[in-house]
Structure 1
Amino acid sequence: MRNLTIGRAAREAGVGVETIRFYERQGLIAQPAKGSGYRTYSPEVVARIRFIRQAQRIGFSLKEAQELLALRADPEADCADVRAQARHKIAEVDERISELLRVRAALEAVVASCPGHGGLSGCTILEALDQAPPEAAACRCDEPMKRKSP
Protein backbone atom coordinates (compact mmCIF):
# COMPACT_ATOMS: atom_id res chain seq x y z
CA MET A 1 0.00 0.00 0.00
CA ARG A 2 1.36 3.40 -0.89
CA ASN A 3 0.96 6.67 0.99
CA LEU A 4 -2.56 7.97 1.44
CA THR A 5 -4.17 11.39 1.47
CA ILE A 6 -5.59 12.50 4.81
CA GLY A 7 -9.14 11.62 3.76
CA ARG A 8 -8.16 8.14 2.61
CA ALA A 9 -6.00 7.59 5.71
CA ALA A 10 -8.92 8.64 7.92
CA ARG A 11 -11.23 6.15 6.19
CA GLU A 12 -8.65 3.37 6.43
CA ALA A 13 -8.10 4.08 10.14
CA GLY A 14 -11.81 4.46 10.88
CA VAL A 15 -11.52 8.03 12.16
CA GLY A 16 -12.36 11.51 10.97
CA VAL A 17 -9.92 13.86 9.29
CA GLU A 18 -10.09 16.14 12.35
CA THR A 19 -8.99 13.23 14.54
CA ILE A 20 -5.86 12.83 12.46
CA ARG A 21 -5.15 16.55 12.71
CA PHE A 22 -5.75 16.42 16.46
CA TYR A 23 -3.36 13.47 16.83
CA GLU A 24 -0.75 15.47 14.91
CA ARG A 25 -1.18 18.48 17.20
CA GLN A 26 -0.88 16.22 20.26
CA GLY A 27 2.29 14.61 18.92
CA LEU A 28 0.72 11.16 18.69
CA ILE A 29 1.57 10.94 15.00
CA ALA A 30 4.15 12.87 13.04
CA GLN A 31 3.06 15.59 10.67
CA PRO A 32 3.64 14.17 7.20
CA ALA A 33 5.60 15.73 4.44
CA LYS A 34 3.60 17.20 1.62
CA GLY A 35 3.74 15.14 -1.53
CA SER A 36 2.30 16.63 -4.71
CA GLY A 37 0.84 19.45 -2.62
CA TYR A 38 -1.06 17.00 -0.40
CA ARG A 39 -0.13 15.65 2.99
CA THR A 40 0.28 11.92 2.66
CA TYR A 41 0.27 9.24 5.32
CA SER A 42 2.04 5.91 5.32
CA PRO A 43 0.38 2.60 6.15
CA GLU A 44 2.42 2.63 9.38
CA VAL A 45 0.78 5.88 10.46
CA VAL A 46 -2.65 4.42 9.71
CA ALA A 47 -1.75 1.38 11.84
CA ARG A 48 -0.60 3.72 14.63
CA ILE A 49 -3.93 5.58 14.50
CA ARG A 50 -5.80 2.27 14.72
CA PHE A 51 -3.66 1.29 17.72
CA ILE A 52 -4.49 4.57 19.47
CA ARG A 53 -8.20 4.17 18.79
CA GLN A 54 -8.21 0.59 20.06
CA ALA A 55 -6.36 1.66 23.22
CA GLN A 56 -9.02 4.32 23.76
CA ARG A 57 -11.83 1.81 23.21
CA ILE A 58 -10.56 -0.31 26.07
CA GLY A 59 -10.20 2.64 28.39
CA PHE A 60 -6.73 4.10 27.94
CA SER A 61 -6.42 7.88 27.68
CA LEU A 62 -4.51 9.46 24.81
CA LYS A 63 -1.58 10.07 27.16
CA GLU A 64 -1.61 6.41 28.20
CA ALA A 65 -1.85 5.32 24.56
CA GLN A 66 1.20 7.48 23.85
CA GLU A 67 3.02 5.78 26.75
CA LEU A 68 2.11 2.36 25.31
CA LEU A 69 3.40 3.44 21.90
CA ALA A 70 6.64 4.60 23.53
CA LEU A 71 6.99 1.23 25.24
CA ARG A 72 6.37 -0.54 21.95
CA ALA A 73 9.12 1.50 20.30
CA ASP A 74 11.60 0.96 23.15
CA PRO A 75 13.84 -2.05 22.42
CA GLU A 76 14.64 -2.26 26.16
CA ALA A 77 10.97 -2.42 27.20
CA ASP A 78 9.47 -5.64 28.41
CA CYS A 79 5.99 -7.10 28.18
CA ALA A 80 5.83 -6.69 31.97
CA ASP A 81 5.90 -2.92 31.46
CA VAL A 82 2.81 -3.07 29.25
CA ARG A 83 1.13 -5.48 31.66
CA ALA A 84 1.79 -3.05 34.53
CA GLN A 85 0.10 -0.26 32.55
CA ALA A 86 -2.92 -2.48 31.89
CA ARG A 87 -3.15 -3.59 35.54
CA HIS A 88 -3.03 0.04 36.63
CA LYS A 89 -5.88 0.80 34.23
CA ILE A 90 -7.89 -2.10 35.69
CA ALA A 91 -7.42 -0.64 39.18
CA GLU A 92 -8.67 2.75 37.93
CA VAL A 93 -11.70 1.10 36.33
CA ASP A 94 -12.46 -0.78 39.56
CA GLU A 95 -12.26 2.51 41.47
CA ARG A 96 -14.71 4.15 39.06
CA ILE A 97 -17.07 1.18 39.27
CA SER A 98 -17.06 1.43 43.08
CA GLU A 99 -17.85 5.13 42.90
CA LEU A 100 -20.67 4.53 40.40
CA LEU A 101 -22.13 1.84 42.67
CA ARG A 102 -22.11 4.34 45.57
CA VAL A 103 -23.87 6.89 43.35
CA ARG A 104 -26.42 4.29 42.28
CA ALA A 105 -27.15 3.31 45.89
CA ALA A 106 -27.68 6.97 46.82
CA LEU A 107 -30.03 7.46 43.88
CA GLU A 108 -31.97 4.31 44.72
CA ALA A 109 -32.38 5.52 48.30
CA VAL A 110 -33.86 8.87 47.27
CA VAL A 111 -36.09 7.29 44.64
CA ALA A 112 -37.35 4.73 47.18
CA SER A 113 -38.33 7.58 49.53
CA CYS A 114 -40.32 9.35 46.81
CA PRO A 115 -44.10 8.79 46.80
CA GLY A 116 -44.09 9.29 43.02
CA HIS A 117 -47.05 11.65 43.01
CA GLY A 118 -48.25 14.93 44.48
CA GLY A 119 -46.97 18.46 44.38
CA LEU A 120 -43.32 19.36 44.18
CA SER A 121 -43.47 20.93 47.63
CA GLY A 122 -43.56 17.40 49.05
CA CYS A 123 -41.01 15.87 46.70
CA THR A 124 -38.61 13.88 48.86
CA ILE A 125 -36.01 13.72 46.09
CA LEU A 126 -35.79 17.50 45.87
CA GLU A 127 -35.76 17.70 49.69
CA ALA A 128 -32.90 15.21 49.82
CA LEU A 129 -30.93 17.28 47.33
CA ASP A 130 -31.44 20.36 49.51
CA GLN A 131 -29.87 18.53 52.47
CA ALA A 132 -26.07 18.44 52.60
CA PRO A 133 -24.88 15.33 54.40
CA PRO A 134 -22.04 15.94 56.89
CA GLU A 135 -19.54 14.08 54.72
CA ALA A 136 -20.35 16.34 51.76
CA ALA A 137 -18.02 18.97 53.18
CA ALA A 138 -15.11 16.56 52.80
CA CYS A 139 -16.14 15.40 49.32
CA ARG A 140 -13.60 16.21 46.63
CA CYS A 141 -15.71 14.94 43.75
CA ASP A 142 -14.90 17.92 41.53
CA GLU A 143 -11.15 17.72 42.03
CA PRO A 144 -9.07 15.84 39.45
CA MET A 145 -7.98 12.39 40.53
CA LYS A 146 -4.33 12.02 41.41
CA ARG A 147 -2.59 9.31 39.44
CA LYS A 148 -1.07 6.53 41.42
CA SER A 149 2.28 5.33 40.22
CA PRO A 150 2.17 1.79 38.78
Structure 2
Amino acid sequence: MDPLPLAAAQDAPGLRIGEMAKISGFSVKTIRFYCDQGLLHTARSEGRYRIFSSDSLAELEIIRALRSMDVPIGELARILEVRRAGVCNCSVLKDSIATKLLSIDSRIQELQMMKSELARLLSSWQDCGGAKAEDAAKK
Protein backbone atom coordinates (compact mmCIF):
# COMPACT_ATOMS: atom_id res chain seq x y z
CA MET A 1 0.00 0.00 0.00
CA ASP A 2 1.39 3.41 -0.95
CA PRO A 3 1.87 5.97 1.79
CA LEU A 4 -0.68 8.74 1.93
CA PRO A 5 0.50 11.81 0.05
CA LEU A 6 1.59 14.50 2.49
CA ALA A 7 -0.90 17.05 1.11
CA ALA A 8 -3.78 14.60 1.57
CA ALA A 9 -2.55 13.79 5.07
CA GLN A 10 -2.54 17.46 5.99
CA ASP A 11 -6.18 17.75 4.87
CA ALA A 12 -7.23 14.67 6.83
CA PRO A 13 -9.13 15.24 10.09
CA GLY A 14 -6.72 12.98 11.96
CA LEU A 15 -4.19 10.28 11.25
CA ARG A 16 -3.83 6.96 12.99
CA ILE A 17 -0.41 5.78 14.05
CA GLY A 18 0.07 3.44 11.09
CA GLU A 19 -0.62 6.26 8.67
CA MET A 20 1.81 8.49 10.56
CA ALA A 21 4.46 5.79 10.31
CA LYS A 22 3.98 5.40 6.55
CA ILE A 23 4.10 9.12 5.89
CA SER A 24 6.94 9.99 8.25
CA GLY A 25 9.18 6.96 7.81
CA PHE A 26 9.30 6.40 11.57
CA SER A 27 8.30 3.02 12.94
CA VAL A 28 5.06 2.68 14.89
CA LYS A 29 7.15 1.69 17.92
CA THR A 30 9.23 4.88 17.70
CA ILE A 31 6.14 7.07 17.35
CA ARG A 32 4.63 5.38 20.43
CA PHE A 33 7.87 6.03 22.32
CA TYR A 34 7.78 9.72 21.41
CA CYS A 35 4.15 9.88 22.56
CA ASP A 36 5.02 8.18 25.84
CA GLN A 37 7.87 10.67 26.34
CA GLY A 38 5.44 13.56 25.85
CA LEU A 39 7.00 14.75 22.59
CA LEU A 40 3.89 14.16 20.48
CA HIS A 41 0.37 15.00 21.55
CA THR A 42 -2.53 12.89 20.39
CA ALA A 43 -6.23 12.58 20.79
CA ARG A 44 -8.03 9.25 21.08
CA SER A 45 -10.77 7.95 18.84
CA GLU A 46 -13.86 6.24 20.20
CA GLY A 47 -12.03 2.98 19.55
CA ARG A 48 -9.10 4.30 21.66
CA TYR A 49 -6.79 4.65 18.64
CA ARG A 50 -4.25 7.45 18.80
CA ILE A 51 -5.24 10.22 16.41
CA PHE A 52 -2.56 12.65 15.25
CA SER A 53 -2.98 16.07 13.71
CA SER A 54 -1.03 17.13 10.66
CA ASP A 55 1.08 19.30 13.02
CA SER A 56 2.48 16.05 14.40
CA LEU A 57 4.12 15.38 11.04
CA ALA A 58 6.02 18.66 11.26
CA GLU A 59 6.97 17.87 14.84
CA LEU A 60 8.31 14.47 13.79
CA GLU A 61 10.58 16.17 11.27
CA ILE A 62 11.86 18.49 14.00
CA ILE A 63 12.41 15.48 16.25
CA ARG A 64 14.29 13.67 13.46
CA ALA A 65 16.59 16.66 12.87
CA LEU A 66 17.28 17.30 16.54
CA ARG A 67 17.80 13.63 17.43
CA SER A 68 20.37 13.41 14.61
CA MET A 69 22.23 16.09 16.59
CA ASP A 70 21.91 14.01 19.76
CA VAL A 71 19.61 16.53 21.42
CA PRO A 72 18.33 14.85 24.61
CA ILE A 73 14.63 13.96 24.91
CA GLY A 74 14.11 16.50 27.70
CA GLU A 75 15.51 19.32 25.59
CA LEU A 76 13.38 18.16 22.64
CA ALA A 77 10.28 18.34 24.81
CA ARG A 78 11.16 21.89 25.86
CA ILE A 79 11.76 23.00 22.26
CA LEU A 80 8.46 21.51 21.10
CA GLU A 81 6.52 23.10 23.97
CA VAL A 82 7.97 26.52 23.17
CA ARG A 83 7.09 25.98 19.50
CA ARG A 84 3.52 24.98 20.39
CA ALA A 85 3.19 28.12 22.49
CA GLY A 86 3.93 30.14 19.37
CA VAL A 87 7.25 31.48 20.60
CA CYS A 88 10.02 31.69 18.03
CA ASN A 89 12.96 29.65 19.22
CA CYS A 90 15.07 29.93 16.08
CA SER A 91 18.03 31.38 17.97
CA VAL A 92 17.99 28.46 20.42
CA LEU A 93 17.94 25.95 17.57
CA LYS A 94 20.59 27.86 15.67
CA ASP A 95 22.83 27.89 18.76
CA SER A 96 22.26 24.15 19.27
CA ILE A 97 23.21 23.43 15.66
CA ALA A 98 26.32 25.64 15.90
CA THR A 99 27.37 23.90 19.11
CA LYS A 100 26.91 20.48 17.51
CA LEU A 101 29.00 21.57 14.51
CA LEU A 102 31.82 22.62 16.82
CA SER A 103 31.57 19.30 18.65
CA ILE A 104 31.77 17.37 15.38
CA ASP A 105 34.76 19.42 14.20
CA SER A 106 36.52 18.72 17.50
CA ARG A 107 35.80 14.99 17.22
CA ILE A 108 37.07 14.93 13.62
CA GLN A 109 40.35 16.54 14.78
CA GLU A 110 40.68 13.95 17.56
CA LEU A 111 40.09 11.10 15.11
CA GLN A 112 42.58 12.53 12.60
CA MET A 113 45.23 12.75 15.33
CA MET A 114 44.46 9.17 16.38
CA LYS A 115 44.68 8.01 12.77
CA SER A 116 48.06 9.72 12.33
CA GLU A 117 49.39 8.17 15.52
CA LEU A 118 48.22 4.69 14.51
CA ALA A 119 49.73 5.11 11.02
CA ARG A 120 53.04 6.22 12.59
CA LEU A 121 52.98 3.27 14.97
CA LEU A 122 52.22 0.83 12.16
CA SER A 123 54.92 2.22 9.86
CA SER A 124 57.56 1.89 12.58
CA TRP A 125 56.44 -1.55 13.67
CA GLN A 126 59.15 -4.16 14.08
CA ASP A 127 58.47 -7.82 14.60
CA CYS A 128 59.65 -8.99 17.99
CA GLY A 129 61.64 -11.90 16.58
CA GLY A 130 59.82 -14.45 18.71
CA ALA A 131 57.75 -17.36 17.47
CA LYS A 132 54.72 -16.36 15.43
CA ALA A 133 51.36 -17.17 16.98
CA GLU A 134 50.58 -19.60 14.13
CA ASP A 135 53.86 -21.48 14.70
CA ALA A 136 53.34 -21.65 18.46
CA ALA A 137 49.82 -23.04 17.96
CA LYS A 138 51.17 -25.94 15.81
CA LYS A 139 53.48 -27.18 18.62
TM-score range, shorter chain: 0.5 to 0.7
8 A contact 1:71–1:81 mirrored in 2: no
Please say if 1:119 is aligned against 2:129: no
Find out whether 1:20 has 2:31 as its counterpart. yes
Structure with bigger gyration radius: 2
Segment of structure 1 superposing worse, 22-31 or 77-86? 77-86
1:62 Cα shift?
Answer: 4.0
Report the CA distance shift for 1:22/1:115 in structure 2 as closer, same or farther (over 3 A).
farther
Distance in 2 (alpha carbons) for counterparts of 1:106 and 1:67: 42
Of residues 69-78 and 102-111 in structure 1, the stretch that sits farther from structure 2 once superposed is 69-78
Give the 5 Å matches for 1:17-96.
Answer: 17-57=28-68, 59-63=69-73, 64-77=75-88, 79-96=90-107
TM-score scaled to structure 1, two decimals?
0.62
Aligned to 2:39, the other structure's residue is in SS state coil
Quick one: distance in 1 between partners of 2:43 and 2:120? 55
| Distance in structure 2 (CA, Å) of the matches to 1:120 and 1:72 | 62
Kindly state the Cα deviation for residue 54 of structure 1 after the two structures are TM-superposed.
Answer: 2.6
Residues 9 and 35 from structure 1, CA distance in 2 versus in 1: closer, same or farther, beyond 3 angstroms?
A: farther
Q: Contact 1:4–1:40 (CA<8 Å) still a contact in 2?
A: yes
CA distance, structure 2, for counterparts of residue 11 and residue 119 of structure 1: 56
Please say which of residues 70-79 and 44-53 is displaced more in the overlay. 70-79
Scaled by the length of structure 2, the TM-score of the pair is: 0.66
Between the aligned residues of both structures, percent identity stands at 27
Counterpart of 1:40 in 2: which secondary structure?
strand
Let me know the Cα RMSD of the aligned residues: 2.8
Q: State the number of aligned residues.
A: 119
Q: CA deviation at 1:79?
A: 3.3
3-state secondary structure, aligned to 1:15: coil
Once residues 101 and 15 of structure 2 are traced to their aligned partners in structure 1, the CA distance between those partners, rounded to angstroms, is 36
In the TM superposition, what whole-angstrom CA distance separates every residue of 1:67-113 from its partner, at most 9, and x where no partner exists? Answer: 44344345454533332222222221122212222222232223323
Q: Which runs of 4+ in 1 moved over 6 A?
A: none
Distance change (3 Å), C-alpha of 1:27 and 1:103: farther
